Amino acid sequence: MALTGLRDESIRPFAQGRVWGPHGSYEAVSAVADFAVDPHAAANHGIVDLERAADPDGLVRFDADLRLLRPSGRAGNGRLLFVIANRGLLGGVPFSAGTPLMQIAPLDALDPGDGFLLAQGWTIAWCGWQWDVTRGDAGTTGTTGAAGIAGIGLRAPTAAGVEPGWIRVEFRPDADQGTHALSDSSLFFTFTEYPTADIDDPQAVLTEQLAPDAPPRPVERERWRFVDERTVALDGGFQAFHWYTLTYRTSLCPVVGTGLLAVRDAVSWLRRDGSFTHAFGYGVSQSGRFLRQFLHEGRNVDEGGAAVFDGVLAHIAGARRGEFNHRYAQPSLTHPLGFPNLPPYDTAGLLEPQRALGAIPKLFLTNSSWEYWRGDGALVHVDSDTGDDLPDDPDARVYLLAGTDHFGAMPTALKELMPAANPVHDHDVGPVLRALFVALVQWACDGVEPPPSQVPRHTDGTATTRAEVLERFAAAGAAVPDLDALNITRDVDLGPQAAAGVGRWPLRLGAARPAIVPAIDAGGNEIAGVALPAVAVPVAAYTGWNPRRPVPGLPTPLYEFLGSRLPLLTGPPAFADRDDYETAVRAAARRLVAARFLMAEDVEATVGEALAAYDRAADS
């Protein structure tokens, strides 16, 4: 067992001791987990630089923060949900209704909402896996005293005997900045930097781009400098909405891939005594990409050959993986271009290594429309060379959540602070995810076939190009992005050692992969996918894309993660009155329940969201 023990353990009542049905009250457990792994074990093969971090006894040691929500009497339902923390944050109690989208709080202070899983007796666990997270309880400054939001993290071992090597840092500020950290740190998050090995290095290169896929332009070396080993500055400052890439050498070499082992072995340790008959993995965005990588590397089997997850739900991950297991990897990168963009993208290709080892979990991949417009979402289910439709993998389902964006139910007031050109929406996909999680559990535990995949396909006319959709909205007067400023998934050449996890920077970009998006109906709403009642019976056109506000002298790309709320292309909605609209919305909700994309208990919430959209439209 590679998890050797827990220390610094604390146990506190959760939700003031509230009783959750027959399983009673819950307790919040916080601890540090210690790990010791054999770098030569077959299950650990491919963890980059692992053998370089061995102690004298031949084992590699590291530790990570562990969090548990469990029934106080420990008599739960025998099922474990393991949540992959997003940048160290717990996020909340999964699949609970009536809670904020992303909670920033310690475990015992999380708002449980309706306690959907707690009332069923689930145990919920999190384990730190990122070496670059500022460790500490969320909302604090962390154990290092660094600014920014703290979270659960990992103390990764350091590889010995590695000469300083090349790394790149990418960033795009929304406001002019005089300096920037050598990481993807922001106003809210502070991640550990890879320090430069030489602040006077004449071979370090800074480039600038005016759009995501625009040619990089070198910045003269005399115009920029390392302020110190962890900060870079540019004469005149880094300009808002310009893309910058800094390539330099570093001597810091953590074994980043131990985060994959920490997750694997934490789940294995929790299952060690047979208390849990089934375990499920859940990740959103960055942590959904983590789960894609976890499966692609065949990590769903532990050192003893036992299966880890029986089911996995990866939400809004698109077709990407992440910087989770290569030399000088930066797990926190928001826009990683490099190893995360390597094929395979499609589900069958992703699962091929795990299938060869056995222990294939049942897999749900859910995406918003934004992941398609980012240029990679469709690659999950189309041929990445031809764009042709691919059949479903027998152990997976893929679902587009039509007309939604990456940020989902984030309050509109927060979305409106971002520099997007069009009005925004705040569709809550939580009720659909609840129903899909139930379907995943039934599939993995009871063999009940889930609903068929719901994705745009060429064969039924529900897939199209970005140009076709944008042309129709532009003709109606909507703000649209420049076609040549859109994100593109390209082939990447990381050099001859890429297969060993050692990249060559700057990377070389090759041919573009197909960028396929959902086709739209006469009113401008997406035809394919699972449509919430507010989207199925629309009072507006809801998209997964939104251009950045125009900036003089710059092309107009998409602003990341946001969708648009636009007038219907067919004109105002034709409902006699609010009651007429409510009747249509309730019928749409009943259809979702019948198709198992919505639970009966969530009908009122989705109807209420649609009626709120109707009222906003009527008021305007």
Burial class (CB in 10 A: 0-12, 13-18, 19+), 335: middle
Q: How far apart are CA 429 and CA 374, in angstroms?
A: 19
pLDDT value for 613: 96
Does the pLDDT at position 534 exceed 90?
yes
| Amino acid residing at 96 | S
pLDDT (mean) for 115-134: 97
User: For residues 536-557, b (16+ Cβ closer than 10 Å) or e, as one string?
Assistant: bbbbbbbbbbbbbeeeeebbbb
> Cα dist. 419→119, 312, 372, 430, 547 in Å?
41, 34, 21, 26, 9
Q: Is the pLDDT of residue 314 over 80?
A: yes
For the chain, the average pLDDT equals 95
Amino acid 291: pLDDT: 99
Asked whether the predicted pLDDT for residue 269 surpasses 70, the reply is yes
What is the rounded distance in angstroms from the CA atom of residue 338 to the CA atom of residue 324?
12
pLDDT of res. 100: 78
Residue 141 scores a pLDDT above 50: no
Write down the pLDDT at residue 139: 52
73 or 579, higher pLDDT: 579
Task: Decide if pLDDT at 300 tops 70.
Answer: yes
Q: Which pLDDT does position 190 carry in this prediction? A: 82
Q: Which tokens hold the place of 294?
A: 């976890």
| 3-state helix/strand/coil string of 417-474 | CCCECCCCCCCCCHHHHHHHHHHHHHHHHHCCCCCCCECCCCCCCCEEEHHHHHHHHH
Question: What pLDDT does 143 receive?
Answer: 43
Percent share of the chain, pLDDT over 70: 98
Q: How many helices (H) and strands (E) does the chain have?
A: 10, 23
Residue 93 backbone phi and psi in degrees, to 5: -85, 115
Q: Which residues neighbour 396 within 8 Å (Cβ) at sequence distance 6 or greater?
A: 347, 351, 362, 363, 364, 365
pLDDT digits (tens, 9 = 90+) for 33-77: 999 999 999 999 999 999 999 999 999 999 999 999 999 987 799
Cα torsion 402, 405, 406, 411: sign: negative
Is residue 1's pLDDT more than 70? no
| 237 in Cβ contact with 219 (< 8 Å) | no
Measured N-to-C along each axis, helices 286-296 and 258-270 cross at an angle, to the nearest 10 degrees, of 80
Angle, in degrees to the nearest 10, between helices 578-594 and 603-619: 150
Q: Which one-letter DSSP state was computed for residue 151?
A: B
| pLDDT at site 148 | 61
Residues with Cβ within 8 Å of residue 107, at least 6 apart in sequence: 14, 28, 29, 30, 67, 69, 90, 126, 137
Cross-strand pairs, 116 = none
pLDDT (tens digit per residue) in 409-418: 998 999 999 9
Rounded-to-integer distance, Cα 294 and Cα 297, Å: 5
124 versus 617: which is more confidently predicted?
Answer: 124
Residue written as token pair 């054999």: 38
pLDDT reading at 146 higher than 50: no
| Run of H or E including 99 | none
Task: Note the pLDDT of residue 99.
Answer: 82
Residues contacting 288, CB < 8 A, separation 6+ = 84, 314, 315, 316, 317
Residue found by looking up tokens 């480039």 in the block: 207
Model pLDDT for residues 175-205, shown as the tens digit of each residue: 999 999 999 876 567 899 999 999 999 999 9
pLDDT grade, residue 293 (50/70/90)? very high
CA-CA distance, 71 to 510, in Å (whole number)? 52
Question: Is residue 6 predicted with pLDDT exceeding 50?
Answer: yes
Pick from 261-270, 570-579, 582-591: least confident: 570-579
CA dihedral for 472, 529, 292, 436, sign (positive or negative): positive
CA angle 13, 19, 25 (to 5 degrees): 40
Mean pLDDT for the stretch of residues 231-242: 97
